[in-house]
Structure 1
Amino acid sequence: MTKSILAKENILLNTAVGTKEEAIRVTGSILVDKGYVDANYIGKMLEREALTSTYMGNFVAIPHGTEDSKLLVKESGISFVQVPQGVDFGSGNIVKLLIGIAGKDNEHLDILSNIAIVCSEEENIEKLVAAKTADEILAIFEEVN
């Protein structure tokens, strides 16, 4: 039986991190701990960030592995980390929502399009940053489907 791609236990609320590297490690750790990816995937997420920022605008970053990290993905999954105080992703880009992605085959493309739809609405971002429960977060993403 496959796990849900975004499950309640993949959501971390009210997190405080000091650096973007720490933020990416926290985001990746959820994917590792829940069995979506091999532990080495976190290093590939950091490698990807060094190549090009995963900051998407609107307080959102979508850390994910490099192209060659696909072998480390056991199954598609998403981690969601809320950082209400924000973390600097460089160039004054403040991130309050990190959405970690591990995609198996091309399954993550659907995941990405859903995230893009949700995150394109500023109102949704505000709701996600203010959410107090994992259920609130899930409800916002489920509205899209």
Structure 2
Amino acid sequence: MAREVLSIGQVRIHSSRTSKEDAMREAADILEAAGAVTSAYFDAMQQREQTVSTYMGNELAIPHGTNDTKSAILDSALSVVRYDGGVDWDGEPVTFVIGIAGKGDEHLEILSQIAILFSDEDEVERLKSAQSPEELFQMLSAVNES
């Protein structure tokens, strides 16, 4: 069993709105603080975003690096930030910004779990109603069981 990709310290809730760039920076900073990525990862996220939007639908964006910036990834981890004021993601409304760092191909499994969760609108509403980072973490902790 790999170490947990999501810990309570990597889950945050903000009542305010923020810019896409600031949301991406926070996602990268959380991953860096968790020891999963180097400081180069934010630039990798920006590179990815320039080629393809990481907006996934259902108020979710999943910023992550490009394949040629794998050297910036030290370990697999997630960061989850809910912005109750929203983020304008190139014209799309985003509430959840989930940063992903995947060592090897591990991110694909994590991505699929998140995609399944967020494809269910009732689940998204449940995640939006979580009162605390702890409650949100409990709802998302299944990602650690892969």
Taking structure 1 as the reference length, the TM-score comes to 0.91
Distance 1:15 1:6, change over 3 A: farther
Query: Which residue does 2:21 correspond to in 1?
Result: 21
Query: Which residue does 1:43 correspond to in 2?
Result: 43
**Fraction of identical pairs, as percent:** 40
Aligned residue type for 1:52? V
Distance 1:142 1:89, change over 3 A: same
Length, aligned pairs only:
144
- Cα deviation for residue 15 of structure 1 reads 5.1
Query: Which residue does 1:136 correspond to in 2?
Result: 135
Aligned residue type for 1:129? K
For 2:23 and 2:40, how far apart are their aligned partners in 1?
16
Deviations 1:72-124 (A, max 9, x none): 1110000001001111011x301000010000011111111110111111111
**Which structure 2 residue ranges, 5 or more long, are not aligned?**
none
Aligned residue type for 2:99? G
Query: Which residue does 1:71 correspond to in 2?
Result: 71
Is the 2:65–2:101 Cα contact (8 Å) retained in structure 1?
Answer: yes
For 1:58 and 1:22, how far apart are their aligned partners in 2?
20
| CA RMSD across the alignment | 1.9
Distance 1:42 1:143, change over 3 A: closer
Is the 2:18–2:85 Cα contact (8 Å) retained in structure 1?
Answer: no
- Cα deviation for residue 135 of structure 1 reads 2.7
Is structure 2 residue 114 aligned with structure 1 residue 108?
A: no
**Which structure 1 residue ranges, 5 or more long, are not aligned?**
none
Taking structure 2 as the reference length, the TM-score comes to 0.90
Is the 2:31–2:77 Cα contact (8 Å) retained in structure 1?
Answer: yes
Distance 1:39 1:15, change over 3 A: farther
